Amino acid sequence: MKYKLYLKNVPISDVELKADVLRVQNLIAPAPLSSKKYDELGNYNSDTVARRFGKRRWNDAMITLGLKPAQVFHTEKDLFDNIAKVWLAKMAQPVRRDMDDHPASTISSGAYLRKYGRWNIALKKFIEYVESGEDIISHNYTMSASSHRTKREPSLRLKVQVLLRDGNHCKICGVKCDEGLHKLHFDHILPWSKGGETTLDNLRVLCKACNEALGNSNYPNE
Ligand SMILES: [Zn+2]
């Protein structure tokens, strides 16, 4: 966190403000500069930049300054993967404000509202996506001598499928998974080392303690 000094009686000139925006843009190039990033790295406030150069709109200010507007395009998979990450981190169905506030989220709720209109519709589409199948696609096939059809680490979608089916209670001891020893793991029932595949049927929710007791190195919920 960086303290921003506001000197009310010393207005920043357009030239100085522009120079600072360009400085930050150079730092993060070639990525376009978002208002959030500018607030992190800039010496002034993104609102000031937006007001001065863009009639209060950040992207218009970027265009005025000859920069690429910071419109981020999210594919549907990006949007769904982000919900999955928050769902897995919370171990519960996310609410709309989690998209803005939860540390696991990297896409704001606005992106969902723009695409789906309402958060409930985004959630409904997400569940349709989760239930529509497993991610067994060509690049999941291993290149090694191993005969596995799947990758060892479950996809985000598969993890959510397992969580929706099993709930967040360990399938061996029944404890509610949260942190520490009870941290949630996704366990291969037939171990991966014995040819077990990463499929819905062969995965289950375990707490860290039970997972370690089994002696398998499985994947924590991260
Ligand atoms: Zn357990």
Distance 178 CA to ligand 1 centre (A): 11
Residues near 165 by beta carbon (within 8 Å), at least 6 away in sequence: 200
159 and 200 part of one domain: yes
Distance 222 CA to ligand 1 centre (A): 18
Question: Does residue 4 fall inside a structural domain?
Answer: no
Distance 144 CA to ligand 1 centre (A): 33
85 and 51 part of one domain: no
Give one DSSP letter per residue of 45-103, joined into a string.
Answer: -HHHHHHHHHTT-HHHHHHHTT----PPP--HHHHHHHHHHHHHHHTSPPPHHHHHH-T
Please give the tally of structural domains in the chain.
3
Domain housing 22: 14-64
Tell me what pLDDT residue 17 has.
96
User: How many residues are there in the chain?
Assistant: 222
Distance 192 CA to ligand 1 centre (A): 19
Tell me what pLDDT residue 219 has.
55
**Is 219 in contact with 153 (CB distance < 8 Å)?**
yes
Distance 18 CA to ligand 1 centre (A): 57
Please name which of 104, 108, 91, 93 lies closest in space to residue 169, comparing C-alpha atoms: 91
The single residue listed with the structure tokens 């499928």 is 161
201 and 174 part of one domain: yes
163 and 120 part of one domain: no
Task: Please state whether beta strands 203-207 and 219-220 pair in parallel, antiparallel, or not at all (unpaired).
Answer: unpaired
What stretches of the chain show up as alpha helix (H) in DSSP? 14-28, 35-41, 46-54, 58-64, 76-90, 96-101, 109-116, 119-131, 156-166, 208-214
Report, as ranges of residue numbers, the positions in the chain whose pLDDT lies below 70.
1-10, 71-72, 134-146, 216-222
Distance 191 CA to ligand 1 centre (A): 17
Question: Does residue 138 fall inside a structural domain?
Answer: no
Distance 27 CA to ligand 1 centre (A): 47
Distance 221 CA to ligand 1 centre (A): 14
Tell me what pLDDT residue 2 has.
65
Question: Does residue 25 fall inside a structural domain?
Answer: yes
Question: Does residue 126 fall inside a structural domain?
Answer: yes
Alpha carbon 147 to chain centroid, angstroms? 31
Question: Does residue 179 sit in helix, strand or coil?
Answer: coil
Question: Does residue 146 fall inside a structural domain?
Answer: no
How far apart (Å, rounded) are the C-alpha atoms in residues 11 and 206?
A: 59
Question: Does residue 1 fall inside a structural domain?
Answer: no
Distance 175 CA to ligand 1 centre (A): 6
59 and 80 part of one domain: no
Distance 205 CA to ligand 1 centre (A): 9
Radius of gyration in angstroms for the set of CA atoms belonging to the chain, rounded to a whole number: 23
